[in-house]
Structures are given as C-alpha cells and as structure tokens.
C-alpha cells in the first residue's frame, strides 16, 4: 500500500495541519512576557511591603506574630453570648467579638429580609397611599448614612427612655428603660435536653411530610396541608415532651436593686440601636430588589392568574414572588454581605462586636497588623459563606431552558 501526502497549493503545507505564522508566535510570546513581568512586579511589591513592615515593627520594638492571643485580656465585655471574664485570653475575647458579630448580623438579615419584602410589595401596591409611604421610606433610608441612623437611634430615641426606677413594665416581668430591656431568664433543669431533641425531631418530620405531600400533589393532585401539620408538630411535640417531663425549667426574674436591675436577662441599648439601624437601612435596599423582581414578571402571568379567579394575595405569594426571586436574589446577596460589613459600625455606639474588641486589643498590645488580618479573614469567610449559600438558592429558583 502506498501513502500519499496531499498539499494545498496555496499554503504549501499538508492539509489538516495548523499553520503557525511567525507573527502569531511573536504575539503569543509577547503576551507571556508581559504577564511574567506583571507577576514579577507584584511579587517584588509584596516583598518590599513585607521588608518595610518588618523594619518599622523592629524600629518600634513591636514583636510580630499571634503569640499575644494566649495572654490574659484584662478587659470587660458587657454583652457576651458565652461566659467571659477579664481573666480570659485575648484569643477568647476576640472569639466573643466574632460571635457577637455573627449574632447581630444573623438576626438583622432575617428581620431586614422580612421588612424588605413588605416594603417591596408595598411599592407596587395599587393603594396610592401605601405605595407612596413605601417610596418615601426607601428614598429617605437609602440616602441617609447608616452611621447617622445609629447615632439617632442610640442617642435620641433610646436615650429618651425613662430611668431604671421609672421603667415601663408589663406584668412585673418585662421592664424597659434607657439601660435595656429586662425580662425573665430561663434556667434549664434536669431533663431539659429532651425538649430541644423533640424540637429537632419535629423539624425533621415536618420536612419529610412536606416533601411527601409535594410528591403526592404532583402525582395524584391531592392536596395535603403539610404546612399546618408541620407547624403543629414543631409546636406541639416539644410542648407535650415538656409537660411529660414536668416542665424542667425555672425562671430568674429581674429585680430592681439600687440604681439598676439585677437578675434575669437583658438586651442592652447598644445592641438594640445597632440591630434597628442595620434592619431599617438594609430593608430599604432589599425592598427595591423585591420591587424590581416583581416588575420583571411578565404581565401575561398576572393575567392568567386573574383569569383563574385567584385572589390578589394568593397571586402575589404563589405566582409573582416565586418568579421575582430570579431577579431579587443576586442583588440581595450583595446587600447581605454589606450588612455584615456594616455591623463594624458598632464600634461607634459601644457594642462589643469583632471590630470593637479588636480595637481594644490593638490599644493594649499594638498588634495592629495581626488584628487587621484577623478582621479581614473573618469577614472574608462570612461573606464567602453567604455568597455560596445564596448562589445555591439562586440556582434552585432559576428557570432552566430545554
């Protein structure tokens, strides 16, 4: 068998092979050289920054490293979710600050989402007054700096509350004054662990029932009130277990002694001011996201739902809002990340979040670089988790073309 090579008369090369011209090779080589030069410049700047930082630290007799985290902190933290004393280490104190940041951010995200949905729906309401009030809320809150909102809430609204001796009270159980909200504290007794265990079991059962009811509805068309059944389980099962266990809880009541209340639990005004400011400010942005999502739903969807005779509330819940999520979620992800970062303004009103605690540590040890690096790492981790979670939700609600 003889083999033949076929040549193109124009290119003078075997057919089927790529032709690399010298100009292409030159452009590709030039691009690689430029990229290598840029990378070398970045590495040189990083090296220069590191050497300069080490020289400045040595000139000021400041030891670098994270060894200071094991030293005794010696500073009080008023609001701590876990037991804390000034005898604990700097590392534990910073951990308490991180917990406070996560605590206020989580609650603020939930409340801001609920309020934002209400504001967004009100923006497209057919009622002129409701729509205008929602528009005023959005325009005012979005154009006022969050720091001013915090100052106003903390220094004007909460400061106007009465003193502890003249507290507003409800049933001698809940007291409101300019030092916080005092209410009874639950103290678990033996056998209390059965209640949260029953709560988790009820949540698992409610999820299983809802999925089963959804599959039955799609296959047979039978509607099972899975939401009502789930709520009954979540509320009823722990209550029944608590009654059978003899209510393993005792309550510590707040009592006025001297110039302030002692005992019980307290929500301090710094936390209330920070939470209020974050919720009001972020809800204005989420409301606009919801409004844009609602307006992105095609009018034919509304006409079809109205033609079926569905009430307006059901159309909004079952037709409009599920489709609006495709537009709302990506923008809301940025607002959630901004809320977490905005919580650092707590230092302005004295709430011991991560930035406030870290600032105190810097003042005592001059370890600014290490603390700033820890701030950056924590905020980066939190926002990456938020982004991953929201991207997962966004992927679940997107329409997939076929």
Mean pLDDT for 258-279 is 89
List the end-to-end C-alpha distance of the chain, in Å, as a whole number.
Answer: 50
Give the whole-angstrom CA distance, residue 74 versus residue 92.
12
Q: In 3-state terms, what secondary structure has residue 17?
A: coil
259-to-166, 167, 168, 253 alpha-carbon distances in Å: 11, 11, 15, 17
Quick one: pLDDT at residue 22? 64
Give the whole-angstrom CA distance, residue 286 versus residue 210.
28
Query: What percent of the chain shows pLDDT beyond 70?
Result: 92
Q: Which residues contact 8 (CB under 8 A, 6 or more apart)?
A: 15
Angle, CA 260 vertex, CA 254 and CA 261 arms, to 5°: 5
241: number of Cβ within 10 Å: 19
Query: What percent of the chain shows pLDDT beyond 90?
Result: 35
CB 294, CB 324: distance < 8 Å: yes
Query: What is the number of alpha carbons within 13 Å of residue 337 lying toward its C-beta?
Result: 18
- Could you read off the pLDDT of 123-151 as tens digits, one per residue? 988 889 999 999 999 999 999 999 999 99
pTM exceeds cut of 0.75: yes
In terms of phi and psi (left: phi > 0; alpha: psi -120 to 50; beta: otherwise), the region of 146 is alpha
Domain coordinates of the chain in residue numbers? 1-55, 90-146+268-397, 185-252
Dihedral sign from CA coordinates of 289, 290, 293, 298: negative
Q: Is 276's pLDDT higher than 80? A: yes
- Could you read off the pLDDT of 300-321 as tens digits, one per residue? 887 888 888 878 778 887 888 8
DSSP state of 318: I
What is the number of residues in the chain? Answer: 402
Q: What are phi and psi of 333, to 5 degrees?
A: -60, -45
Q: In 3-state terms, what secondary structure has residue 183?
A: strand
Closest CA to 293 of 397, 383, 144: 397
Q: In 3-state terms, what secondary structure has residue 175?
A: strand
Predicted confidence band of residue 112 (pLDDT cuts 50, 70, 90): very high
CB 348, CB 152: distance < 8 Å: no
Q: Which helix (H) or strand (E) holds 13?
A: none
For residue 176, how far is the Cα from the chain centroid? 28
Q: What is the overall mean pLDDT for the chain? A: 85
Give the whole-angstrom CA distance, residue 370 versus residue 194.
43
- Could you read off the pLDDT of 40-98 as tens digits, one per residue? 999 999 888 888 877 777 777 766 778 888 888 888 888 888 888 889 999 999 999 99
Mean pLDDT for 370-399 is 89
CB 179, CB 269: distance < 8 Å: yes
Topology of the domain covering 90-146+268-397 = MetI-like fold (1.10.3720)
């Amino acid at each position: 068998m003889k083999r033949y090579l076929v040549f193109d008369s124009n290119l003078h090369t075997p057919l089927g092979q790529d032709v690399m011209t010298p100009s292409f090779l030159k452009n590709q080589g030039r691009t690689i050289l430029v990229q290598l030069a840029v990378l070398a410049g970045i590495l040189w700047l990083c090296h220069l920054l590191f050497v300069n930082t080490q020289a400045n630290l040595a000139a000021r007799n400041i030891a670098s490293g994270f060894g200071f985290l094991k030293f005794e902190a010696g500073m009080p933290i008023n609001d701590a979710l876990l037991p804390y004393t000034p005898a604990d280490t700097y590392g534990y104190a910073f951990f308490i600050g991180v917990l406070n940041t996560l605590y206020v951010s989580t609650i603020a995200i939930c409340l801001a989402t609920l309020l934002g949905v209400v504001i967004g729906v009100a923006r497209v309401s057919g009622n002129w007054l409701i729509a205008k009030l929602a528009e005023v809320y959005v325009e005012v809150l979005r154009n006022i700096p969050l720091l001013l909102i915090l100052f106003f809430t903390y220094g004007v609204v909460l400061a106007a509350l009465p003193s502890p001796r003249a507290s507003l009270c409800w049933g001698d159980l809940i007291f409101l004054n300019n030092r916080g909200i005092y209410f009874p504290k639950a103290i678990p007794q033996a056998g209390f662990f059965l209640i949260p265990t029953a709560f988790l079991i009820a949540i698992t059962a409610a999820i299983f029932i809802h999925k089963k009811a959804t599959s039955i509805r799609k296959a047979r068309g039978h509607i099972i009130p899975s939401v009502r059944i789930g709520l009954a389980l979540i509320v009823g099962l722990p209550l029944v277990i608590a009654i059978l266990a003899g209510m393993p809880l005792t309550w510590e009541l707040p009592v006025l002694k001297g110039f302030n209340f002692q005992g019980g639990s307290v929500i301090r005004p710094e936390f209330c001011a920070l939470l209020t400011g974050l919720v009001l400010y972020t809800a204005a942005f989420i409301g606009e996201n919801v409004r844009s999502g609602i307006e992105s739903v095609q009018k034919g969807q509304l006409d079809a739902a109205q033609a079926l005779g569905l009430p307006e509330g059901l159309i909004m819940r079952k037709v409009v809002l599920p489709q609006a999520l495709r537009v709302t979620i990506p923008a809301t992800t940025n607002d959630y990340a901004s809320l977490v970062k905005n919580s650092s303004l707590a230092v302005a009103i004295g709430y011991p979040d991560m930035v406030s605690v870290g600032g105190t540590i810097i003042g005592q040890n001059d370890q600014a670089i290490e603390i700033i690096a820890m701030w950056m790492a924590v905020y980066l981790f939190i926002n990456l988790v938020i982004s991953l979670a929201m991207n997962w939700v966004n992927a679940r609600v997107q329409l997939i073309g076929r």
